[in-house]
A and B are shown apart, each in its own frame.
Chain A
């Protein structure tokens, strides 16, 4: 596979990663004061300099009796550094550091330029937007905001044809207690979905720069 096509595939994968969450059996209804809550979420996201968290990823395929589970570590440092590391049941590392994206799988390490084309850059922004909770600013989605007693739910529908090929919608959940992202759910056009739940979240603790290198 050529580098160009590899990149196109990777773009899709990245989009998926960064728009991935949590389906919770709660009743959500549209918020009454949209602008006020969005402003509060954005203010919180701006105050977050670092995030340390663990995550559980569950992939639901309609024909399987159980979801496919994996888990790992999540590290984010403002503005654009991210470590997404699977530790169980396999080891797989994705690093974002500025415009550089590194994927490490065993002894194989691939480095990509996130700014090498417009779409890739867009996806990079999208992913960081999801982490920081300011995806509502992204013009590539129609979005709406709902709430339950404990959470806010940001629903995103892609308007961009390229993204529509990969996802039908994204649900991002914010805990009302801290207004930070607690989970993401990515729904595919087939109805299958991936949900990523963050737990043991810690904000604004120091994170060493080495965290964002593959060595």
Chain B
């Protein structure tokens, strides 16, 4: 448990340390109005079966995401048998824990999940995304950088396929796979150098 908390603390510390860069040319007219493939264009709820792997320690459960309003979300983590483990509301500014069972009630864990969920769910305003042509992977994949951050969004056909968040000591990479009608069938969240990995598979 202490090892887990140390790892979480490391993640929380490192994701908090961001720097700024100058922007290059702005080109975001091709970005879809809803561009992160969690909810798609027609839904406000998404349910995934998921696993969390922290340095070989394994946990599984069901992840429920609800878009309550623009930039306002609710996330619930529950066991397969239906027990609510963690219930969190959050905006791009802060989070609130509605409920958490005792073994998981750790501030570091809350901050870490808040960071990852916010990064995966909260779409930055399009005017705050700046094109970084020099980082483009190929002709189909365009890279944008979020204003006042080191969060990079990789777009293909107007939808995000990957988000990369860099800080001094940590890198978080979110990959959206199996894109279909603006929704990803699978999502992978990987932290480095901390060996923390979250894998989500859509069930609804």
Place the interface of chain B in its size category. Answer: 35 or more
Residues of A171-215 whose CB lies within 8 A of B = 186, 188-190, 192, 194, 196
A70 touches B1 (CB 8 A): no
In the complex, what's the smallest C-beta–C-beta distance from A91 to chain B, in angstroms?
Answer: 10
In the complex, what's the smallest C-beta–C-beta distance from A168 to chain B, in angstroms?
Answer: 12
B contact residues around A6 at 8 Å (CB): 57
The one of B83, B98, B102, B204 that contacts A13, using a Cβ cutoff of 8 Å: B83
In the complex, what's the smallest C-beta–C-beta distance from B100 to chain A, in angstroms?
Answer: 11
Most chain A beta carbons < 10 A, residue from B85, B98, B101, B103:
B103
The one of A64, A94, A190 that contacts B99, using a Cβ cutoff of 8 Å: A190
A contact residues around B168 at 8 Å (CB): none
A contact residues around B68 at 8 Å (CB): 63
In the bound assembly, the distance between CA atoms of A66 and B78 in angstroms comes to 16
A9 touches B62 (CB 8 A): no
In the bound assembly, the distance between CA atoms of A14 and B54 in angstroms comes to 23
B78 touches A5 (CB 8 A): no
In the bound assembly, the distance between CA atoms of A108 and B98 in angstroms comes to 31
Instruction: List 12 A-B pairs, Cβ < 8 Å.
Output: A1-B1, A2-B4, A5-B1, A9-B85, A17-B81, A57-B81, A59-B78, A64-B64, A90-B201, A186-B82, A188-B84, A194-B82
Contact (A4, B1) CB under 8 Å given A64-B66, A68-B62, A190-B99: yes
B17 proximal to A (CB < 8 A): no
A92 touches B83 (CB 8 A): no
A105 proximal to B (CB < 8 A): yes
B80 touches A166 (CB 8 A): no
B83 touches A166 (CB 8 A): yes
A129 proximal to B (CB < 8 A): no
A149 proximal to B (CB < 8 A): no
Place the interface of chain A in its size category. Answer: 35 or more
B122 proximal to A (CB < 8 A): no
B87 proximal to A (CB < 8 A): yes
In the complex, what's the smallest C-beta–C-beta distance from A164 to chain B, in angstroms?
Answer: 12
In the bound assembly, the distance between CA atoms of A9 and B74 in angstroms comes to 22
Residue of A nearest to B81 (CB): A17
A61 touches B101 (CB 8 A): no
B76 touches A61 (CB 8 A): yes
- In the complex, besides A15-B83, A16-B83, A188-B83, 7 extra interface pairs with C-beta distance below 8 angstroms are A5-B103, A65-B45, A90-B49, A165-B101, A165-B102, A166-B83, A188-B84
A153 proximal to B (CB < 8 A): no
B contact residues around A70 at 8 Å (CB): 80
A13 touches B1 (CB 8 A): no
Residues of B70-95 whose CB lies within 8 A of A = 74, 76, 78-85, 87
Contact (A16, B79) CB under 8 Å given A61-B64, A68-B62, A165-B101: yes
Sorted from nearest, which 6 A-B pairs have the closest CB atoms? A194-B82, A16-B83, A17-B81, A2-B1, A89-B203, A90-B49
